[in-house]
Chain A
């Protein structure tokens, strides 16, 4: 890790002022579980770290009168899991968050950090850049070991998968992310927060180098049946190979509207309009869930080593739908 200077501002205005207008200048320290690893591997080497954990307004979970949910960016994953009102009003959030990594990570990692963490692509982490190219500009992923890489949105130049479990879920739940920067507040759907970079200088988030995520807002879940399903090789402390988060509005037992979002399959959490459309007007059964799973991966392509992930994504969607329809918080 390279040296840096360190500050712990107490307001978001101070924090933003302390950040730089270039990514290389400064970085935001919250949970640190990803950032410090990136710095140790010299993937990023900010000259300044701005610790935002002393900014009180970025904390806290509140359930509004309308049963909407506001989650401060600094809320830890475990706080989300343990929060009584979240468990009661948004069981899918508590359940999905409870599957993230292990207890220590859940104690340290924050909701904002879960959205802003960088991809786990092993070429990126080895210093070949976000787009994983060798010195000649040749992309390493398509001809390399891409067993954990994208099956959707993988036409290039980005091949990594978004590692945000909560991003996937929040998109399914119609969430909004609130940002604060030099020009003040900004608010965008979580879905728009994740972007596929086209050049090495771009990032995978719609986030400026001097902007911070302040909170996430989710609309009331009333009447919505939601669930996530994760395919993970190990039972705990393992990155999912595929994740699906779904949210269903039902009319009787028929789907009025659906959101189907997959994680760990594309450079962004991947919303599948195909799967959503396949569900409209249908009751959720093994067959319709399976058909939606098929639709969800209809545009998926193997990069060579990751064809199995197409199957895993298909199954994740099917099982998330069945869990949602079963009313479980799975």
Chain B
């Protein structure tokens, strides 16, 4: 029996090294096919007539003119008369036509009448939200009254962040086709869950899940918003059935921003009690959050720091915007941004360097305290904290003020259930099949590294096949659970396969299987490496039948773990005459257990920081109170940072002893938690006043300066 563990550092050929992604050449050359790139013979183009109202009832639908138009092949009413529509952009009617222009003309020919109902789309005023506000009971930890009575200083502040949208560059959608005389569905779906989407497609279509196949080679972004087929995918399958042709249905950009994903907002009034030496004694927060009909749940407050005495009350605000979806570390960016800002304000109130304040209270973070301490120290060195930090309000002359901010964060990770089949052919060729997906995180590459490293083969000797629901099922890519799951099952399969190859090869080498190892494309005797078979020679001992091993997760041995953290720091400049914030530098120090590919791991962190700059400074789903519509459903006023807006970025991964032996832990989410907090704290440090709400747009920055006293806001 193989011992299921990762190789020691000196035995790793590829694991932990900087390896370029194996599908990189496909992507840079345009050959990588995304679901949106799939063109099928006779394919029709689907479009959706959407509600222009935030809250309305369908009064009548007339599709007759559209149905008679040449080139229109199928029309499907999704929202029957009487249906209540709960956000602008909700699906009403879908149709499919021979080309996009015809489909657009047909959309305009469909007449829908609505009974317009009252709506709420603005989420900043919870007091006047009436029935839309759903307060939860107050919760207590410890004795908050006692905690505040022991405090020497009480600091209050308001903090918050707007609803943002996922804005996946490849919009949500699919190409749906029926095969085998309309019996089976082949879904080219843009999804974070290839295996898991099958049942979700079958159920509404009322066909057995065995009749559904999901395929996806590449996905153009998901970030938590693509865990299954959506209404528009199901309607595409229905249209395809009706028309007898494949149907391509992808959201237009405006719909993508309106309905295909929202990260809930979060707002809080926070009170912190502390002693003048920096000891935190109590926390009080009254928070609210919105995110469509589900309301917004409470973010984790206080975040990371388990303050001994707490009083918390949260209100979910139900409103008429496209529904919330998981967004990279759900709840954590909100909890982190609010908490770290409140803590930074508390430190400022007692005139303490927030770095010292964090270190002083680091025990409140629990068992991770020593790691956070190390990470904060490294981050501080990388950004020159002790040299560059100054008390609140840069005293430098001129309008440009510079400041530093910090934050720490955590995330779970762990590994999702994941199966794979590893097949070794008698000619030595190797293929791993797994129903997983590569979000651009490098799943393919990680699998390739693990199998090649374990079998002692070069990377290109292993074929990695993913993105097909006919392969063994693997979990959806969410919660940073993919790398833990897929690395564990593929390692187990590889080790098991190797056992069998050793058993077959041992007689020829005059050794016992236990004496053998796989390295450098050979199977050889550990004590005498010159006694060896080439990989192909060893595999030929399999005879005529290929060897297929099912790898599973969960399974024996400790290959993965959960629970990571990191520290980040930002250096920003603020023009106090214009309120414009520029990033000078952001430093991220992050642990994630054993790293499979250092290059791609770093990419995850860079990406998380850049995404963080976007939502810290620019992103906001701007809703119009009166019309109930999103005002910026485009990429011109729904701003994302460009290449010039991100400053210098430094990523430091915690690796080696103390980390590697934990096994593999996911990384997609944790570094995406802190950027808003570090940028907001740096801005407060620069300009001497807290800008309560993200994004830190010029209007918000100038308003904060104005409130502070006005003199700074005037030139």
Q: CB–CB under 8 A between A and B in the complex?
A: yes
Interchain CA distance A234-B625 in the complex, whole Å: 26
Q: Within A113-146, which residues are at the interface with B (CB < 8 Å)?
A: 120, 122-123, 126, 128, 134, 140, 143-145
Closest chain A CB from B218 CB (angstroms): 24
In the complex where A231-B580, A233-B618, A233-B697 touch, is A122 in contact with B702 (Cβ < 8 A)? no
For residue B308, CB closer than 8 A to chain A, the reply is no
Closest chain A CB from B704 CB (angstroms): 11
In the complex where A236-B644, A314-B715 touch, is A147 in contact with B699 (Cβ < 8 A)? yes
A145 — which chain B residues lie within 8 A by C-beta? 622, 624-625, 631
Interchain CA distance A284-B632 in the complex, whole Å: 40
Interchain CA distance A67-B180 in the complex, whole Å: 75
Q: Say which residue of A123, A233, A290 sits within 8 Å of B580 (CB atoms).
A: A233
B714 — which chain A residues lie within 8 A by C-beta? 311
B579 — which chain A residues lie within 8 A by C-beta? 308, 311-312
Q: Within B675-715, which residues are at the interface with A (CB < 8 Å)?
A: 697-699, 702-703, 713-715
Q: Within A244-280, which residues are at the interface with B (CB < 8 Å)?
A: none
For residue A241, CB closer than 8 A to chain B, the reply is yes
In the complex, the answer to whether A1 meets B637 with C-beta atoms within 8 Å is no
Q: Say which residue of A128, A148, A234, A290 sits within 8 Å of B642 (CB atoms).
A: A234
In the complex, the answer to whether B618 meets A143 with C-beta atoms within 8 Å is no
In the complex, the answer to whether B577 meets A134 with C-beta atoms within 8 Å is no
Q: Say which residue of B101, B697, B715 sits within 8 Å of A293 (CB atoms).
A: B715
Closest chain B CB from A38 CB (angstroms): 12
A231 — which chain B residues lie within 8 A by C-beta? 578, 580, 698
Closest chain B CB from A287 CB (angstroms): 11
For residue A160, CB closer than 8 A to chain B, the reply is no
Q: Say which residue of B101, B626, B698, B702 sits within 8 Å of A143 (CB atoms).
A: B626
For residue B627, CB closer than 8 A to chain A, the reply is yes
Q: Within B374-410, which residues are at the interface with A (CB < 8 Å)?
A: none
B644 — which chain A residues lie within 8 A by C-beta? 234-236
Number of residues on chain A facing chain B (CB within 8 A) = 38
Chain A 274-300, CB-CB to B under 8 Å as 1, else 0, gives 000000000000000010010000000
B230 — which chain A residues lie within 8 A by C-beta? none
- Of A1, A231, A308, the most chain B CB neighbours within 10 A belong to A308
In the complex, the answer to whether A311 meets B577 with C-beta atoms within 8 Å is yes
In the complex, the answer to whether A122 meets B637 with C-beta atoms within 8 Å is yes
In the complex where A122-B631, A134-B626, A235-B644 touch, is A290 in contact with B698 (Cβ < 8 A)? no
A307 — which chain B residues lie within 8 A by C-beta? 699
For residue B275, CB closer than 8 A to chain A, the reply is no
In the complex where A134-B627, A308-B703, A314-B715 touch, is A233 in contact with B642 (Cβ < 8 A)? no
For residue A237, CB closer than 8 A to chain B, the reply is yes
Q: Within A213-259, which residues are at the interface with B (CB < 8 Å)?
A: 231-239, 241
For residue A305, CB closer than 8 A to chain B, the reply is yes
In the complex, the answer to whether A126 meets B631 with C-beta atoms within 8 Å is yes
Q: Whose C-beta in chain A lies nearest to the C-beta of B643?
A: A236
Chain A-chain B contacts (Cβ-Cβ < 8 Å), number: 91
Interchain CA distance A83-B497 in the complex, whole Å: 67
B713 — which chain A residues lie within 8 A by C-beta? 311
For residue A3, CB closer than 8 A to chain B, the reply is yes
For residue B636, CB closer than 8 A to chain A, the reply is yes
Interchain CA distance A235-B577 in the complex, whole Å: 17
B639 — which chain A residues lie within 8 A by C-beta? 233-234, 238
In the complex where A122-B637, A143-B626 touch, is A235 in contact with B642 (Cβ < 8 A)? yes
Chain B 11-33, CB-CB to A under 8 Å as 1, else 0, gives 00000000000000000000000
In the complex, the answer to whether B104 meets A308 with C-beta atoms within 8 Å is no
Q: Say which residue of B578, B626, B641, B642 sits within 8 Å of A312 (CB atoms).
A: B578
B577 — which chain A residues lie within 8 A by C-beta? 311, 315
In the complex, the answer to whether B698 meets A308 with C-beta atoms within 8 Å is yes
For residue B119, CB closer than 8 A to chain A, the reply is no
For residue B617, CB closer than 8 A to chain A, the reply is yes
Chain A 1-14, CB-CB to B under 8 Å as 1, else 0, gives 11100000000000
A123 — which chain B residues lie within 8 A by C-beta? 624, 631
For residue B629, CB closer than 8 A to chain A, the reply is yes
B105 — which chain A residues lie within 8 A by C-beta? 2-3
For residue B645, CB closer than 8 A to chain A, the reply is yes
Closest chain A CB from B359 CB (angstroms): 35
Interchain CA distance A325-B451 in the complex, whole Å: 67
B641 — which chain A residues lie within 8 A by C-beta? 234
For residue A318, CB closer than 8 A to chain B, the reply is yes
B582 — which chain A residues lie within 8 A by C-beta? 235
In the complex, the answer to whether A235 meets B698 with C-beta atoms within 8 Å is no
In the complex, the answer to whether A312 meets B698 with C-beta atoms within 8 Å is yes
B715 — which chain A residues lie within 8 A by C-beta? 290, 293, 311, 314-315, 318
B618 — which chain A residues lie within 8 A by C-beta? 233-234
In the complex where A122-B632, A233-B618 touch, is A140 in contact with B580 (Cβ < 8 A)? no
Interchain CA distance A145-B629 in the complex, whole Å: 11
B578 — which chain A residues lie within 8 A by C-beta? 231, 311-312, 315
Interchain CA distance A232-B575 in the complex, whole Å: 12
Q: Whose C-beta in chain B lies nearest to the C-beta of A314?
A: B715
B698 — which chain A residues lie within 8 A by C-beta? 231, 233, 241, 308, 312
Q: Within A146-164, which residues are at the interface with B (CB < 8 Å)?
A: 147-148
Q: Whose C-beta in chain A lies nearest to the C-beta of B703?
A: A308
In the complex where A312-B578, A314-B715 touch, is A144 in contact with B617 (Cβ < 8 A)? no
Interchain CA distance A120-B635 in the complex, whole Å: 13
Closest chain A CB from B711 CB (angstroms): 13
Interchain CA distance A126-B643 in the complex, whole Å: 29
A3 — which chain B residues lie within 8 A by C-beta? 101, 105
Query: Which 4 A-B residue pairs are closest in the complex by CB-CB distance?
Result: A235-B644, A308-B699, A122-B631, A315-B577
A-B contact pairs, 6 of them (CB 8 A): A3-B101, A233-B639, A236-B642, A236-B645, A293-B715, A311-B713
Q: A232-B580, A308-B579 are in contact. List 15 more A-B contacts (CB 8 A).
A: A120-B636, A122-B631, A134-B627, A144-B625, A144-B627, A145-B622, A145-B624, A233-B618, A233-B698, A234-B618, A234-B642, A235-B642, A305-B699, A308-B703, A311-B715
